C-alpha cells in the first residue's frame, strides 16, 4: 500500500537489522560481532571465527573443542555424492559443482527440509555443512582434472585437510606446507562475512520462504559466482594475465576501464559500500608480499597489479568515483602462489563466506523475518484483447 519507491540494486534500502557484522564504508572499518577484522586475521583462526559469527561470542575452550571435534567428525560425505560428481563433465566450473553438491545435501538429509526443527537439529546441519564444504570443494577440482578424489584426513586442521584433498596424489605422500595452510586460513577469515552483500542477501531471501539451509546456501554460492561479486577474484587474475600478455601496457587498460563505450571494468576495483579503502584489501596486499616472499615465488602479475593500483589512485576518474582496490584485487595473487588454480578462486571465497551465510540465515530465522518479497512499478502494456494467430 502507499507509494512504492524504486531503488535498483537496493543502494539505499535496508532489508534487515543485524547484530553480526559492522561495516563503516567511509572509515574502512569491518568488525565481526564487534571484533576488528585486523585483530581476528592476526590472532584467531577460521573455525573460531566461524563459531563467533554463528553463535555471537568467542567460544570458551570447551565450546571450541566440541565445535572443532564435531566438524572433524563430519568431513566425510555420503559415498553416493561421488556418483553425482561423476555425472558432471570435466568442463564443469567448480562453482556450479559446489552449489549442486551443497543443494544435494537436502536429499541425504531430508529432515533439513522441515522448517520447524529444534535448534539442536539446526546445529547438526551447521556442523555438517562446515565440515563437508572443503570435501565438496576439493572434489569439484578433482573431477575437473580427472583424478580420483581424496577422502578427508581428520588428523589435519581445516585448511590443511582441504589442501591435502586438493593436492595429494593418492600414490604419494603429501606434506602440507604450514605457510600455505596459515595463509589460506587467514584468507578464509577475511572472507567470512560482509553483511548484506549480494550472496548473503540471496541466502536470507531464499531462507525467508523457509527453504532448507542447504538450499539457501546453494543459492548464495550461485550469487557469489558472478564476476561483479566473488567471481571478481578469478576475473582479476585473468585481467592481469591479459595485460601481461599485452606487453604490460597498464595505461592502455586504464583508458579502456574509463571508456564508457567499452564494457571493460578494472576488476577488483570499486565497492558498493567502501568509499575510502577496503580494510580487507589492505591486509591482503601485505599478506601477498609476505606469502610470496616466504614461498620464494616471484609473480610478475603482482608488479602489474601494484602498478595499476598506483595509477588508479592518482587518476581523477577513480578518485572522483571513490574507486579503491577491493578484497578481490590481491587475493588471487596469493591463491596462485599457494598453487590454487584460477577457477577455484571463487570456491575459496565460498568456503570463507560459508559461516557468514550460516550466521545470517540463522539470524533471519530466529528473528522470524517475513518472506522477502519486493514490490515493483509496472511499465508494460495496458490491457489488450487476445488476437488469434491467423490475425497477427
Ligand atoms: N572500473 C571502472 N569503472 C568503475 C568500476 C571499475 N571497476 N567500478 C565502478 N566504476 C564506475 C562506474 O562505471 C560508475 O561510473 P559513472 O558514475 O560514470 O556511471 C561509478 O564508478 C559507480 O559505479 P557503480 O557500478 O554504479 O557502483 P556499484 O556500487 O553499483 O558497483 C561494483 C560496485 C563492485 C559492482 C563495481 O565497482 C564493479 O563492477 N567493480 C568491478 C568488479 C569487482 O571488483 N567486484 C568485486 C566487489 S568486492 C567483493 C565482492 O563483492 O565479491
Dist CA 344 CA 128 (whole Å): 22
The alpha carbon of 268 and the centre of ligand 1 are apart by a number of angstroms equal to: 9
Which is the catalytic residue, given 193, 328, 343, 391?
328
CA distance 44 to 52: 10
pLDDT attached to residue 1: 59
The domain that holds 295 is classified in CATH as 1.10.230.10
- 244 close to ligand 1 (CB < 6 Angstrom): no
Tell me what pLDDT residue 170 has: 76
151 and 269 fall within a common domain: no
Cell of 389: 494467430
| Residue 186 shares a structural domain with residue 84 | yes
CATH number at residue 165: 1.10.580.10
Domain count, the chain: 2
323 CA → ligand 1 middle, Å: 8
Same domain for 317 and 198?
no
Indicate whether 241 and 138 sit together in one domain: no
Task: Cell numbers for 85, please give them.
Answer: 560428481
Helices in the chain by DSSP H: which ranges?
37-43, 46-55, 61-73, 81-86, 94-108, 119-145, 158-167, 178-190, 198-208, 213-225, 232-245, 250-258, 279-295, 300-313, 316-320, 327-337, 345-366
Give yes or no: residues 276 and 216 share one domain: no
**Residue 46 alpha carbon to ligand 1 centre in Å:** 29
Residue in 194, 221, 230, 270 to alter for ligand 1 test, most ligand atoms within 8 A of Cβ: 270
Question: What is the per-residue pLDDT for 169?
Answer: 85
Residue 5 lies in a domain: no
Are 41 and 64 part of one and the same domain? yes
Name the residue with the closest Cα to ligand 1, atom 37: 270
List 177, 271, 299, 343, catalytic entry = 271
Q: Please indicate, yes or no, if residue 379 is contained in any of the structural domains.
A: no
Residues 147 and 210 in one domain: yes
Residue numbers of the chain with a pLDDT score lower than 50: none
- Is residue 80 domain-resident? yes
ipTM over 0.90: yes
CA 155/CA 366 separation, integer angstroms: 35
Query: Is residue 14 situated within a structural domain?
Result: no
Note down the domain range covering 100. 20-228+350-366
Amino acid at each position: 500500500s502507499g507509494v512504492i519507491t524504486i531503488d535498483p540494486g537496493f543502494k539505499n534500502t535496508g532489508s534487515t537489522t543485524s547484530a553480526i557484522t559492522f561495516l563503516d564504508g567511509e572509515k574502512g572499518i569491518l568488525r565481526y560481532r564487534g571484533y576488528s577484522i585486523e585483530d581476528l586475521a592476526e590472532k584467531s583462526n577460521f573455525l573460531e571465527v566461524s563459531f563467533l559469527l554463528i553463535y555471537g561470542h568467542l567460544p570458551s575452550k570447551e565450546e571450541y573443542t566440541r565445535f572443532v571435534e564435531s566438524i572433524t567428525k563430519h568431513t566425510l560425505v555420503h559415498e553416493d555424492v561421488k556418483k553425482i560428481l561423476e555425472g558432471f563433465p570435466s568442463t564443469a566450473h567448480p562453482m556450479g559443482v559446489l552449489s549442486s553438491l551443497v543443494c544435494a545435501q537436502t536429499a541425504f538429509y531430508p529432515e533439513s527440509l522441515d522448517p520447524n526443527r529444534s535448534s539442536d537439529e539446526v546445529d547438526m546441519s551447521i556442523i555438517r555443512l562446515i565440515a563437508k564444504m572443503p570435501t565438496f570443494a576439493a572434489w569439484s577440482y578433482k573431477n575437473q582434472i580427472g583424478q580420483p578424489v581424496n577422502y578427508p584426513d581428520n588428523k589435519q586442521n581445516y585448511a590443511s585437510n582441504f589442501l591435502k584433498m586438493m593436492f595429494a596424489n593418492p600414490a604419494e605422500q603429501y606434506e602440507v606446507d604450514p605457510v600455505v595452510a596459515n595463509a589460506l586460513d587467514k584468507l578464509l577469515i577475511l572472507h567470512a562475512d560482509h553483511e548484506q552483500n549480494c550472496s548473503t542477501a540471496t541466502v536470507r531471501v531464499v531462507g525467508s520462504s523457509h527453504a532448507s539451509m542447504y538450499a539457501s546456501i546453494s543459492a548464495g554460492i550461485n550469487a557469489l559466482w558472478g564476476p561483479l561479486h566473488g567471481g571478481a577474484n578469478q576475473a582479476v587474475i585473468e585481467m592481469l594475465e591479459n595485460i601481461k600478455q599485452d606487453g604490460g601496457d597498464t595505461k592502455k587498460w586504464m583508458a579502456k576501464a574509463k571508456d564508457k563505450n567499452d564494457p571493460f571494468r578494472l576488476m577488483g576495483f570499486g565497492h558498493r559500500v567502501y568509499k575510502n579503502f577496503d580494510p580487507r584489501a589492505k591486509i591482503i596486499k601485505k599478506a601477498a608480499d609476505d606469502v610470496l616472499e616466504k614461498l620464494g615465488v616471484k609473480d610478475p602479475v603482482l608488479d602489474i597489479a601494484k602498478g595499476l593500483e598506483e595509477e588508479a589512485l592518482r587518476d581523477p576518474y577513480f578518485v572522483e568515483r571513490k574507486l579503491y582496490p577491493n578484497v578481490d584485487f590481491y587475493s588471487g595473487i596469493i591463491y596462485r602462489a599457494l598453487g590454487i588454480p584460477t577457477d577455484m578462486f571463487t570456491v575459496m571465497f565460498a568456503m570463507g563466506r560459508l559461516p557468514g551465510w550460516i550466521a545470517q540465515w540463522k539470524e533471519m530465522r530466529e528473528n522470524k523475518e517475513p518472506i522477502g518479497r519486493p514490490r515493483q512499478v509496472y511499465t508494460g502494456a495496458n490491457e489488450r484483447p487476445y488476437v488469434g494467430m491467423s490475425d497477427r
